[in-house]
Amino acid sequence: MKPTFQLPNYPIWVGPLAQTFPAWFESAGYTQVFLIADAETRKHCLPVFLQETGLSADVPGTTIPAGEHFKNMHTCAHIWQDMLAAGLDRKALVINLGGGVVGDMGGFCAATYKRGVDFVQIPTTLLSMTDASVGGKLGIDFNGIKNAIGLFGDPVAVFADPIFFNTLSDRELRSGFAEVIKHAIIGDAELWDQLQQLNDLRAVHWPSLLKASIAVKVKVVELDPFEKDLRAVLNFGHTIGHAIESYFLNTDTPLTHGEAIAIGMFCEAELAPASTRLPRTALAKLLRRFFSFRTIPVEAFPALWELMQQDKKNTSGKVRIALPDAEPYRLHWLEPAFVELERSLTVYEDTIKAGL
């Protein structure tokens, strides 16, 4: 079966694993495989994966604890140890079965083990299907900094099958949906129109929506594989969003990545000049339909500004926000001052208070 997308170095299939993976796997001819899952995906996704692909239940591999908290060097050491113990050679295939954490870290471990073994991404969250497993960015968190250590390394293939959403929580599904919204705004007016019609993520026809959303990421990556310029457009919502995510990280009520990015997109759209023609009102309405916005106290504004100073995109000490421009696949840089952040957050707070 023809891949849904063929990138320069690897194919991406969107659709039932049973129709794609077994034939690909057989023709690839790997003699050794090693499967990486986290505790949750081992429980919920591995049985589905085995059933769909016909792989034997005693496939060697390792299980890591679930969650961003474990995306670190210690977990890598554990993975590499298990790879060595399994006697993995350089001709083996590593299978990453999980969300973005398993994909980023499993890919990183595979790309560095014995100077690199092949790996395949089997994303199991909406976020990892539409975003994390496309584009070859691999890595782990270090010293409290997200994705501080890593490299660009392509998988040999990606298989995105929405069958895994059956066990994914509503909250995680919504979280990934924030990136789908982002992709629509960056490059697909038709997808954007479709999203306006949605009310229930459980009733979505995922194969077509995934294809449209992945297509935007694929196009951006093809235009700018090493993030020299345009690829920064994928950071729409992320400058303010990441600061908000970090701010709430060590509280009793952390936000998911997508929840933080939803707020970030709202605020960044508020700052966008009219020339970008960002659909501000429609975006706010769509975000409000799917995300329950959290109040951000005024006292937090300076702390958020402080966090934004650490953003990777900044140059010469200035905070930079990457916005989609009026034309699809165009980037518009903004260099806001603190007062503008304050203004956008005040509009955000007023919107919550008004119950809009």
Q: Which residues pair with 150 in a beta bridge?
A: 139
Question: How many residues in total does the chain contain?
Answer: 356
Q: Measured from the CB atom, is 61 or 100 closer to ligand NAD?
A: 100
| Backbone region of residue 273 per phi and psi (left: phi > 0; alpha: psi in -120 to 50; beta: other values) | beta
According to the binding rule CB under 6 A, does residue 95 interact with ligand NAD?
Answer: no
Active-site pick, 42, 137, 174, 211: 137
According to the binding rule CB under 6 A, does residue 213 interact with ligand NAD?
Answer: no
According to the binding rule CB under 6 A, does residue 130 interact with ligand NAD?
Answer: no
d(CA 323, CA 333): 6
According to the binding rule CB under 6 A, does residue 227 interact with ligand NAD?
Answer: no
Residues ≥6 apart with Cβ < 8 Å to 111: 119, 138, 151, 153
The residue written with tokens 């001052």 in the block is: 337
Dihedral (Cα; 46, 13, 170, 42), 10-degree rounding? 10
Contact 138, 113 (CB under 8 A): no
Q: Measured from the CB atom, is 23 or 73 closer to ligand NAD?
A: 73
d(CA 113, CA 212): 34
Q: Which residues inside 140-159 make contact with ligand NAD, applying CB under 6 A?
A: 146-147
According to the binding rule CB under 6 A, does residue 7 interact with ligand NAD?
Answer: no
| Backbone region of residue 98 per phi and psi (left: phi > 0; alpha: psi in -120 to 50; beta: other values) | left
Active-site pick, 174, 257, 320, 332: 257
Query: Nearest distance from residue 27's CB to ligand NAD, in Å?
Result: 27
According to the binding rule CB under 6 A, does residue 331 interact with ligand NAD?
Answer: no
Q: Rule CB under 6 A: choose which of 79, 132, 185, 322 binds ligand NAD.
A: 132
Q: Rule CB under 6 A: choose which of 62, 75, 96, 124 binds ligand NAD.
A: 124
According to the binding rule CB under 6 A, does residue 40 interact with ligand NAD?
Answer: yes
Angle at the Cα of 110 from the Cα atoms of 179 and 10, rounded to 5 degrees: 55
Q: Rule CB under 6 A: choose which of 14, 79, 95, 102 binds ligand NAD.
A: 102
According to the binding rule CB under 6 A, does residue 264 interact with ligand NAD?
Answer: no
**Residue 235 catalytic?**
yes
Q: Rule CB under 6 A: choose which of 52, 61, 62, 104 binds ligand NAD.
A: 104
According to the binding rule CB under 6 A, does residue 98 interact with ligand NAD?
Answer: yes
d(CA 23, CA 201): 31
Query: Nearest distance from residue 311's CB to ligand NAD, in Å?
Result: 14
**How buried is residue 166: exposed, middle or buried, by Cβ count under 10 Å (0-12/13-18/19+)?**
exposed
Q: Measured from the CB atom, is 19 or 169 closer to ligand NAD?
A: 169
**Residue 217 catalytic?**
yes
d(CA 62, CA 34): 8
Q: Which residues are catalytic?
A: 115, 137, 179, 217, 227, 231, 235, 238, 242, 257
Binding region for ligand NAD (CB under 6 A): 38, 40-41, 44-45, 66-68, 71, 98-102, 104, 124-125, 127-128, 131-132, 135, 137, 146-147, 164, 167-168, 172, 175, 257
